[in-house]
Structure 1
Amino acid sequence: MGLIAEFKEFVARGNVVDLAVGVVIGAAFGKIVTAMVDGIVMPVISMATGGVSVADWKHVITPAQLDATGKQVAAEVAIKYGMFLQTIIDFVIVAFVIFMVLKAYNRLRKPAEAAAAAPPEDVLLLREIRDSLKR
């Protein structure tokens, strides 16, 4: 089998196409949730912290050095943990929303439990024999 034929078979299986669609939809969904976090959640947190954006939170190790004219000679050295916290909040919200969507999907997908199936014929026959022997 040629390389192109194998590739066509691989792509035509369906799993690859389903995976590709899932990745594209997941990326778009991630953008939606990120926009929600950046536009709604983080401003509320910023208001609670006195108007300072969480992304701007940092620990300055060495402040920027300026010369006499006010030009920056050496850049500031800082640990910017605020952006990390914002990314963690974004991830937690995305994971929670995906969890809720999958939970609802699984609930809809679960078939209604069928009534108890009748016992097999051999079990019925054995029960009849047992009942006959008891008499």
Structure 2
Amino acid sequence: MKFLKEFKEFAVKGNMMDMAIGIIIGAAFNKVIDVLVKKVFLPPLTLMTDGLNFQNQKYVLRERILNAQGDIITDEVAIEYGVLFETFLDFLIVGLTVFIVVKAMNRLKSKAEDPKNEGVSTPKDIELLSNLTELMEEQNALLRKNS
């Protein structure tokens, strides 16, 4: 029973919900990037390289061997570097997008946490800490003046 109670607390606190939302958004984002690479970026590259389709590019180590009836005796062994190129392009786009989003979020967060910035409302905890810092500086100045 204790295990179930702990799990319920974990799930209700929001950690599990935040994680689930992140996974769902990440999966949807992955689909968008996959389509962006395959349907937007790779076709112009294929056109510029005179019909070279990157997804089908491979280095064959051993050809497929067929018998007289056309059945496969041994499979082809190949290094599919075109798929690697496509996956690397996916990774670069995802990395760049995440970098831009995190950079924008950090910029907004730093503006929101700046107590001197009048354009953005400062969160209460930051405002209270700022006031506390100012009071401590005043108190230290008074103590130095008296001693």
Is TM more than 0.5 here? Answer: yes
Alignment of 1:26-65 (within 5 A): 26-65=26-65
Give the Cα–Cα distance (whole angstroms) in 2 for the partners of residues 81 and 41 of structure 1.
Answer: 17
Matched, 1:114 2:109: no
AA at the equivalent of 1:76: E
Instruction: Measure, in 1, the Cα distance between the counterparts of 2:145 and 2:6.
Output: 58
Letter in 2 for 1:9: E
Q: In 2, Cα distance between the equivalents of 1:98 and 1:112? A: 22
Deviates more, 1:20-29 or 1:42-51: 42-51
Instruction: Provide TM-score, normalisation by structure 2.
Output: 0.74
- How far residue 76 of structure 1 moved from its aligned partner, in angstroms, is 2.6
Name the counterpart of 1:23.
23
C-alpha deviation, 1:96, in angstroms: 1.0
How many angstroms apart in 2 are the aligned matches of 1:114 and 1:2?
Answer: 44
Report the count of equivalent residues.
Answer: 129
Q: Match of 2:51, SS? A: coil
Query: What amino acid maps onto 1:104 in structure 2?
Result: A
CA RMSD, Structure 1 to Structure 2 (Å):
2.4
Partner of 1:128: 145
Which residue identity does 2:115 align to in structure 1? Answer: A
CA offset at residue 31 of structure 1? Answer: 0.7
**How far off its partner does 1:120 sit?**
2.7
| Normalised TM-score (structure 1) | 0.79
Higher Rg:
1
Q: Does structure 2 conserve the Cα–Cα contact (< 8 Å) formed by 1:64 and 1:72?
A: no
Structure 1: how far apart are the matches of 2:6 and 2:113? 40
Matched residue type, 1:126: L
Q: AA paired with 1:63?
A: E
Q: Where in structure 1 are there 5+ consecutive unaligned residues? A: 131-135
Letter paired with 2:84: F
**Superposition deviation, residue 6 in structure 1:** 2.1
Which deviates more from structure 2 when the two are superposed, residues 104-113 or residues 117-126?
117-126
Which residue of the partner structure matches residue 81 of structure 1? Answer: 81
Q: Mean Cα displacement is larger for which, 93-102 or 108-117? A: 108-117
The structure whose RCO (Cα within 8 Å, separation 6+) is larger is 1
